[in-house]
Homo-oligomer: A and B are copies of this chain.
Amino acid sequence: MVKQKISITDIAEKTGLSTTTVSRVLNGKAEQYRISKKSQQKIKEVAKELHYTPNQFAANLRTGKSGTMALIIPSLNNPFFAGIASEINTELRKSNYTTIISDSDENPETEKMELQQLIARNIEGLIIVPCGNEWEHIKSLQEQGLPVVCIDRYFENLDIPFVSTDNYTGASMATKQLIENGHSRITCIQGVQHSTPNKLRIKGFRDTMKKAGLESESIVGDDFTFQNGYLETKLLLQQKERPTAVFTLSNTIAMGCMKALKEENIKVPDDISLITFDDHPYLDYLVTPLSCIAQPVSDISKIAVKFLISKINKQEVKTSQVLLRPTIKMRDSIKRIN
């Protein structure tokens, strides 16, 4: 703590006015309480001269408002989430909120603990990428009056607002692309199974396969990690009949997959085609520029913030559950076969 912090009282003394008046001027309520221009000026001058910074804690204690929002994501190390964090951080700052970013590390217990901490900090709102399939602790916060919005992952049939990608469509697009290029033996490497995006992507994949008369779809994996992508691909390559195409459900999985392919000296797209969920600048410069389903990260973040702010301002929002359409970015990782 910076010692000798100067308070509203110091300004009051120096100006010969009361803390009440100082507070009002500094909060822009001067007009409302008819403080004379002269006093206003004096107070502002002295405040500047003394380098006054209000003690948020005191103000917050009094008002119950913290000016703080919380963002909980599964991992800052995942570029997808880092991007979201960055966007939300700046977006919230525009509305004069400070964001506390927490990393649940894909662990529901950690998530709960962080949430506790955050509550103690009197957060005014929460944006969360829930990392488990339990929703009670989140729902209960909402019921206590805390504005909450889920992003990326969410809970269906629950009235917690969310903003996410239309994962079903995204996966369908990717799968269709593969099929149209003649692929039929397609393996999908998935992430956390119970997560809504994963479920919907899988559904999109399955439905599209089925519609094309391709029943033999194979789905493997269980985590949105590099590790998972690597291991599953390794296993995949052991099979007698390898797939001709792989659809990875995240950029992290894709990276793991690529590592395995590289080790086994399998070329994309000549030996195997690849498409993934999530875009990333690097994807353009890979051995084979990777085709992907790009999520509207920026829009997701902005809408989520908007929801939160509206809730706080008690504005009515018609819809608060939004799915944004992803775009497919074709690069060179899919080979036309047959």
User: Measuring CB to CB, which residues of chain A are less than 8 angstroms from any residue of chain B?
Assistant: 1-4, 53-58, 60-61, 64-66, 75-77, 79, 82-83, 85-86, 89-90, 98-103, 105, 116-117, 119-122, 124, 141, 144-146, 226, 255, 258-259, 262, 280-282, 284-287
Contacts and interface: CB of A to CB of B under 8 A. Distances in A.
Nearest to A77: B86
Name, among A65, A116, A117, A121, the residue most crowded by chain B CB atoms within 10 Å (CB to CB): A121
A57 to B, nearest CB: 4
Q: So how many copies of this chain end up in the complex?
A: 2
B2 A119 contact: yes
A286 B66 CA distance: 45
A83 to B, nearest CB: 6
Nearest to A281: B255
Contacts of A122: 1, 55-57
Contacts of A117: 98
A152 B79 CA distance: 20
B56 A58 contact: no
A312 to B, nearest CB: 10
Contact of A98 (B61, B121, B145, B281): B121
18 contacts: A3-B145, A53-B116, A53-B120, A55-B61, A56-B121, A57-B60, A76-B82, A76-B89, A77-B86, A79-B82, A82-B82, A90-B103, A98-B100, A98-B121, A99-B100, A100-B100, A255-B285, A258-B285
- The 4 nearest A-B residue pairs measured at CB: A76-B86, A282-B282, A82-B82, A2-B144
Contacts of A101: 85, 89, 99, 101
A103 B99 CA distance: 11
Given A57-B61, A89-B102, A286-B287, 19 more contacts: A1-B64, A2-B141, A2-B145, A3-B145, A55-B61, A55-B122, A56-B121, A57-B60, A58-B61, A75-B86, A76-B82, A77-B82, A79-B79, A79-B82, A86-B103, A99-B100, A226-B281, A259-B284, A285-B286
